[in-house]
Amino acid sequence: MSTHDDDPGDPGPAAPDATTVEALGSLSKALETVERARGHLYGFHQLTGTADFELDRAVKLLREAGHQAWADRVETEILGRDVVPGHWTYQIVDAYNETYYEPFRQLERTAVSALAGGREHRFEARLQRERRTPGHPDHSPGEGAGA
């Protein structure tokens, strides 16, 4: 059984009203945006780490080229530096996950459970049903497709 549909023939919990479905859709859309932001944060973390490791090569090459003072500056001023005071990127990612992402994710799941019987994406499932062309083979409901 799909957790995404609100098929009137299903004996499960009654479908929430249209405004509730729309509100939950908006809440889920906001969470999806946060998921994307979180992905960018992981990208920031990985790119910053890659740059920091590349500094090892820059320091080595500066030393080989006889630029000891520049190698020392890069090594002491930038290599391993906090990206914000007192924090490396992994700590920013951890703090985001703990203080924002996880509470948001839990609240969204709890709201869907309380207001929609645990059935996710009811708004999208309704749109899917409304936008199908009856009888078209590529518009037919499939398993878990919000029939």
For residue 51, pLDDT over 70 is answered with yes
Number of domains in the chain: 1
Looking at residue 118, its pLDDT comes to 75
Residue that has been written with the tokens 């004996």 in this structure: 11
Looking at residue 136, its pLDDT comes to 85
Full domain range(s) for residue 56: 18-123
- Confirm whether 8 is domain-assigned: no
Q: pLDDT tens for residues 89-139?
A: 999 999 999 999 999 999 999 999 999 887 777 767 776 777 788 888 888
How far the first Cα of the chain sits from its last, in Å, is: 10
> How many other CB atoms are there within 10 angstroms of residue 48's CB atom?
16
